[in-house]
A and B are shown apart, each in its own frame.
Chain A
Amino acid sequence: MWRQILEFGGRFGSPLWTLSACLFCASCAVEQRAAIETPETVISADFVGNSECATCHQEIERQFEDSPHGRFHKPELHMAGSTGCESCHGPGSAHVASGGQVQGQIYNPGRDPQSCLDCHIYEQAQFRLPHHHPVIEGQMNCVDCHDPHGMEIFKPSTGLAMARRNQQCAQCHLEHSRPFIFEHEAMREGCVTCHDQHGSINDKMLRQPDFNLCLRCHAQVAAFAVPGDDIVIGNVPHAAFISQGTCWTAGCHTAVHGSNVNPKLLQ
């Protein structure tokens, strides 16, 4: 981010840009911002279209067309910069005219989430929930997990075009993504089966904080032989357990990611 200070600071005549760019960026502020501004763009530049970008950035352009971002693009769409390269990088004429100079000539989002969050407002709201990955605080950024240009929006694992499951999460969450002797099948379907990767109203960024998280797969069944309001899961009466709390908070199935000693993930 410090580089962007060098790039933008003092480049524009407007004091609005000059001061705001320097003192209100994500990682400079360090603390969570209350509002995300529209990404800074070069005010005097015009849109030039993807084909112009492709003359230099061929390695990006040739796969971008198939990417989730690029598949909506064609030059003839009337709203300039609504799709394609300049929807994130801003108008590129100054960058082109300068022979590819970046400094002060084009917006390069890099580690700054502003450009992404300007369109992905739902994700922006999720990052503001009480439990979230620290993206707005500048300690993570969108491209840590996503490839904005690639065929798969999820970042390819060490260069492959398609991502492997959980690889993005495994970069930091070493303990949970490791293999176990007794596995939880949900891990094979992906961490996002249970966790909301951007932010959540629930602790540990869980999609639900209660039985609903587990029971959609681990169906409970009617059990006529069991009196009262018992609940039978896996043919085992569970009423006494679930009065304590949820499947994992009650202190029972605490090894939710997998266990090396207990096949029922009790430890």
Chain B
Amino acid sequence: MNGNVVINIPGASAWTRALSIAILALTQDVSPFVGNARSQEEAVETIDFRSQVAPIFEAHCLKCHGDIRPKGDFRLTGREAALTSGAYGKNIVVGDADESFLVEAIEREDEDIAMPPEEENNPVPPESVAIIRAWIDQGAVWDEEPTRRAEFSMQSRWRLYSINGNESKFRETLNVAGDGAFGVTDFGFLVDTSDRGTLEVGGSVWDDPNRYDVELTYNRRDLGYLRAGASNFRTYDNLLGEVYGPFDLQGFTLGRALERDHQRAFVDIGIQVPDLPEFTIGYDYFGVDGAKSLLEYGTYAETVDGDFVSRAIRPSYKLQDHERHRLELGVKGTLGGVLIEDSAQINWVDLDSFRVSDSSFSPGVVEAEQSTEIRDRFDYRQTANTIRFEKQAKPWLFVSGGHLYSNLNGQGTFSQTTLSPTGAFGAFEGPIGQSLTLDQHSQVMNANASFGPWEGWTLTSGFQGEWLRQLGQGVVINFPGGPAEASRSRYEEFRAQEKILARYTKLKDSVVYFEGNFIQEGGEQRESLENGLFRITDSDNLTREAVAGFEYSPRRWVSLNIKGRHRQRRNDYDHLADTSFGAPDDGYPAYILDRDERLDEIKTRLSLRPHRQIKTTVSYQYEDRDYENTTVADSFTGSPGGELRTADQRAHVAGASISYNPIPRLSLHSYATYWNSRIRTEDQGALAVVPFKGDVYSVSSGLTYSLDKKSDLTLSYAISEADYGQSNVDYTVPAGTEFRWSRLRSRVNRRFSKNVIAGLEYAYYDYEDPAALSLSDFDGHGVFVTMEWRMSASY
């Protein structure tokens, strides 16, 4: 700091002024008596904000009182902000340093209000306090221009694929169209003015009109924000149905594309005025439009070794036209130290689905002998309101809670038409559902507390109670020419969930925690069809879960994490009535009396950082599940009933990852996982039911190397392989899979100038699945050219 500084402190006490002058004399190259040698007018020199005040703010204040999350809402980022912001009144009184809270705080005479806080160990030196005093007394002139800057970036991308084999499987697996395309894949435009707010526009746009993502955000300090955006992405499904090895004919495929657009658009407006609650209003649209594959296959038959064999392998699809409009209002504020947040929303949902499935029954007939079309329409309006509160009641006590109310009213229709394109069978309609209505009410209440008055211990408990009632009814014609009969259902459920969590941190180098979760559910379900079905089932379910976890880090380079979980769920059913078309106890749910599920799981993770440039993780997970049922005896089938171990499931999962930067210009990343799983259900001698078991391993490695100061080379390779093949081909359609899926990518990026970067990339893909008779196989090549431009300016 150079030059003379003469203190002019109107209103300051004489001793304060004298002290300030003395300090300045000692610390600056200033004579306190210069003023005596000149006239007072000549001696008074204005404090320069940029060179004298701003550095003090930067060194001692802006860490906490900048634009981002300012403490006490006090900002020192502009004159207007400095004079008007702050939750505790005026911090700067222009022309009067003695009345300015800022000065009182930095002088530290009262330690309760001293700033910066003691723990920061960064007090403002007396000479700097004197400068601040003088600056305020001189009018707190803030001659720093508001900063305004604009930035623009754009990345364009051209891509081309060449695919051999099953192109629809390629599209499904990679979620891309699989053809050539050009797009502005990432553009951003930002205008940031410290006084008028910030405008950001960004996103991506492709020459394919079905792929875009654009978002706009405008933030205005102390006023609020506007956010708006629109996006669409397309997903693809494999056209192949099931495959069945013994048949001569292989590979039914649909004669149409299966692709769906997922559209979203939104507008959010938030009003954020200091000292007032925050208000938000938002509108959100979400829609799905297109066709997807179904896992309900149509029938095809052949003669195999002289036997008539029929299997469901023909692909089927569903057309979807789904829309949701959502309007949401919210308010958030603090009252008496309690944060209160309320959100009300209305959803209008319109669902229209149309399913098509073809079948043939005569051996070797490829044409569809029967085609089933199902139209399912349902629309509903759902209103919901949530209110939530939280408070830090004591330093050791945090409480929160909330309530949700939801009301849903829906109506729909259902119709099924069966056609016979070849004329082999008759056409008919049914089942048909008319005047279908559904009303659902639910309420949820939630309360939580986290407290830790004991050294080393923190306890958290939570309770959530839920109640749901659902009433459904309609008119159903179940078969052609059948009577119209009323259908009804009523479902009511109570659910209580308790959670308790205890943490202990006083063990050396360790943290240990215990968690208990308990869920009690009680429900009654009534279902009826006017002409012959009547069920009432009461259910009581109890879930108990215990979790324990441990983190241990005795050295800077090692950390061990272990977590174990045990969960038991028991469902008890009381079948008060179960009649189906005159037959008692016909099928579900009456023949199951209770159901038990047990899960034991352990997860471990070892993290090692033997060197600053090496980060490794090794993990292992084991999962063990058992399922048991108790069923009733049945004289018709000869089932003895009783307790039955229905299924068991085991899984081992191991993984490792490493990141290594041996030299600044080289970065290596790699991970590998292996899991082995088996689920075996009780087969009771049925040869169609076999375990689903096998192994999956997945490896991915990549490196980035700086060829020179302007160029990077990136190589990566990933492979996943599974062998879940099944051997029940004589009894049903094997559903297992045996795939190998690998990808190789290589890319060179080069910076051509400060603002221009270009990249050239090549990718190779290979997918093989012998279990699907290689009908899903594909391999392909991809070439990508990327250019990025970036510009910025301040004005």
Contact = CB atoms under 8 A, between A and B. Distances in A.
Interface of A: 1-3, 5-6, 9-10, 14-16, 18-20, 22-24, 27-28, 30-38, 55-57, 59, 62-63, 65-66, 71-74, 76-80, 82-83, 96-102, 118-119, 121-122, 124-125, 128-130, 134, 137, 139, 151, 157-162, 164, 171-172, 174-175, 178-183, 185, 188, 201-204, 208-212, 215-226, 229-232, 234-237, 239, 242-246, 248-251, 254, 260-264, 267
Nearest to A73: B511
Interface stretch (B13-21, B123-131, B645-653): B645-653
Given A57-B69, A71-B503, A1 B186 contact: yes
B545 interface: no
Given A57-B69, A72-B513, A215-B646, A125 B655 contact: yes
Given A37-B702, A122-B673, A128-B698, A164 B466 contact: yes
Contacts of A261: 414, 431-433, 436, 474, 476, 478, 487
B749 A20 contact: yes
30 contacts: A2-B153, A2-B203, A5-B188, A20-B712, A22-B788, A31-B763, A35-B669, A66-B458, A72-B551, A76-B505, A78-B559, A79-B559, A80-B556, A82-B553, A99-B66, A121-B617, A124-B700, A125-B673, A125-B720, A151-B462, A161-B401, A172-B286, A178-B349, A210-B736, A215-B646, A231-B689, A234-B587, A254-B296, A260-B414, A261-B431
Contact of B357 (A28, A96, A234, A251): A251
Given A159-B343, A261-B487, 14 more contacts: A15-B751, A34-B717, A34-B718, A37-B667, A76-B509, A101-B66, A161-B401, A179-B440, A179-B470, A208-B679, A221-B639, A235-B591, A260-B436, A263-B533
B303 to A, nearest CB: 15
B353 A216 contact: no
A175 B181 CA distance: 32
A262 to B, nearest CB: 7
Contacts of B462: 151, 161-162
Nearest to B648: A216
A235 B711 CA distance: 69
B81 to A, nearest CB: 13
Contact of A30 (B62, B157, B638): B157
A211 B68 contact: no
A34 B686 contact: no
Contacts of A220: 646, 681-684, 686, 689
A54 to B, nearest CB: 11
Interface string B585-622: 11111011001000000000101010000010101010
B637 A239 contact: no
Given A19-B757, A158-B386, A222-B684, A33 B716 contact: yes
A16 B706 contact: yes
B509 A245 contact: no
Contact of A129 (B151, B448, B720): B720
Contacts of A239: 686, 688
Contacts of A225: 636-638
Contacts of A98: 63, 66
Contact of A32 (B68, B619, B743): B743
A156 to B, nearest CB: 9
Contacts of B702: 34-35, 37
B607 A79 contact: yes
Contact of B489 (A139, A164, A182): A182
B53 interface: no
Contacts of A96: 63
Listed from nearest, the 5 A-B pairs whose CB atoms lie closest are A35-B702, A225-B638, A99-B66, A100-B68, A181-B472
Interface in B444-480: 444, 446, 448, 450, 458, 460, 462, 464, 466, 470, 472-474, 476, 478
Contacts of A74: 505, 511
Contact of B474 (A5, A172, A181, A216): A181
Contacts of B173: 130
Contacts of B687: 229
Contacts of A232: 637, 639, 684
A159 B414 contact: no
Nearest to B313: A245
A151 B460 contact: yes
Interface in B564-585: 585
A149 to B, nearest CB: 13
Tell me which of A27, A65, A102, A263 has the highest count of chain B C-beta atoms within 10 A of its own C-beta: A263
A3 B200 CA distance: 9
B629 interface: yes
Contacts of B664: 14, 16
B188 A2 contact: yes
Given A181-B489, A245-B732, A231 B688 contact: yes
A120 B762 CA distance: 28
A219 B595 CA distance: 9
A183 B472 CA distance: 10
B501 interface: yes
A198 B653 CA distance: 15
Contacts of B432: 261
Given A23-B155, A130-B767, A212 B647 contact: yes
Contacts of B221: none
A212 B678 CA distance: 10
B741 interface: yes
B627 A175 contact: no
Interface stretch (B1-9, B22-30, B374-382, B420-428): B374-382
Contacts of A56: 64, 68-69, 71
